[in-house]
Structure 1
Amino acid sequence: MSFARVRALVVVGLLAVTALVFVVVAVVRDSQSNAGTAKGCPDGWPLADIALRDRKDVKINVLNGTDQPGLARQVADEFRNRQFQIKKITNEKPIDDIAVLRYGPKGVGSAHLLRAYFLDNAETKYQPERQDDSVDVVLGNGFQQLATTTEVNQSLGDLGAAEAPPGTCPMPVKK
């Protein structure tokens, strides 16, 4: 073996050992090992369920906030056809928005999914005192139609992952 080959093997070996040392140090000194868990959460803060739900697991209350009679029932039927669980269909005082999504700590992931059905044009209202996992969908005068499946998928990609609202801690992810 020539001297050049031996020297090249020694340099490659030293680089491999150096890389291994850096990896071990990074793993041992990892300060983010509790990221995404409730450890370090202040006492009394609610845990927000930020997991993106399947449509069949999302519970919705559809409220008609328009002057158009029957809109809530029509949109509830569309959601039902898309495999959502419809809990209530009622009327509410008229609003000018496209839609308003009201939810509590257990409904953060569900509300995130529903935002995509309104192409992220729905106003979100987090209600920390709310105890159930349902989401109120209040339809406003600006509402025209729900997004198509393709539009929902694109919107979900644009939205990224759900984030815990201020004053909450993300619930540990179930594996």
Structure 2
Amino acid sequence: MGGQYRITGDKYPRMRRPRRRGRLVFLGAASAAVLGMLGWGTLQLIDVFTGNSGKASAAGPRADCAKKASPSPAADKPAAVPKPGTITVNVLNATTRTGLAKETADELKKRGFRIGDVGNAPKEYDKKVKGTGMLLGPAAALNTSLPVLATQLPAAERRTDAARQGTTVDLVLGDAFKALAPRPAADKALAALSAPEPTPTGPKNTC
């Protein structure tokens, strides 16, 4: 080019694109955020695999102590259930089979129970008990004598009569009755009834 636009000298102007400072700032901030998230995630994974949490660490070493259920002091004692020798049982036959009440009464006596009346069931139950049997007693026997007698015939129905007096209980034999529970199984059930497992009552600090 000539005239007033003539270029002289040995240096020429360089043509470059204008720098985009906004994009560089954005990229820098995004990189910092990604690195921060990676570092935080790594710390969380370490906490998971080592069993620690941020809250537990901030609260101190005792905050990491596990809490477990503890048995009730009262549950450590065996339940106060009566012994078979203190329970008087009336054995009543509600079936058409003869001699069933006496056979059952003799077996109960061998197992330590006291035997009261032995004979046919009263009219209200005679030939009306379709299951294996029915255990009857006063209201006070619901959690005492009846559960003990039920160890000998677990499938029997249990009933109480609030108007009934005394402590004697009845075993009414039903149509489905074949025999009492095998003695080893009955003895095991009776032992479990006398010494029940402790029941958890709440968390206990194991520190």
- Counting matched residue pairs gives 117
Name the counterpart of 1:123.
Answer: 157
Structure 1 unmatched runs, 5+: 1-10, 16-34, 36-49, 162-175
Most deviating of 141-150 and 61-70: 141-150
Name the counterpart of 1:87.
Answer: 116
Alignment of 1:15-94 (within 5 A): 51-92=80-121, 93-94=126-127
Identity of aligned residues (%): 29
Q: CA deviation at 1:83?
A: 1.8
Runs of 4+, deviation exceeding 2 Å: 105-108, 153-161
Note closer, same or farther for the CA distance 1:150–1:86 as it changes in structure 2 (3 Å cut).
Answer: same
Matched, 1:139 2:173: yes
Q: CA deviation at 1:158?
A: 7.7
TM-score normalised per structure 1: 0.58
**Cα deviation per residue 1:104-134 (whole Å; 9 max; x = unaligned)?**
133231111111111x210011111111101
Q: Distance in 2 between matches of 1:154 and 1:78?
A: 17
Query: 1:105–1:133: 8 Å Cα contact kept in structure 2?
Result: no
SS of residue matched to 1:53: coil
Query: 1:107–1:132: 8 Å Cα contact kept in structure 2?
Result: no
Q: CA deviation at 1:81?
A: 1.4
Structure 2 unmatched runs, 5+: 1-59, 63-73, 197-207
Equivalent position to 1:155, from 189, 195, 198: 189
AA matched with 2:137: Y
Query: 2:81–2:194: 8 Å Cα contact kept in structure 1?
Result: no
Query: 1:117–1:152: 8 Å Cα contact kept in structure 2?
Result: yes
Name the counterpart of 1:47.
Answer: none
Look at both structures and tell me which one has the larger radius of gyration over its CA atoms. 2
**Cα root mean square deviation, aligned:** 2.9
Q: Distance in 1 between matches of 2:120 and 2:105?
A: 12
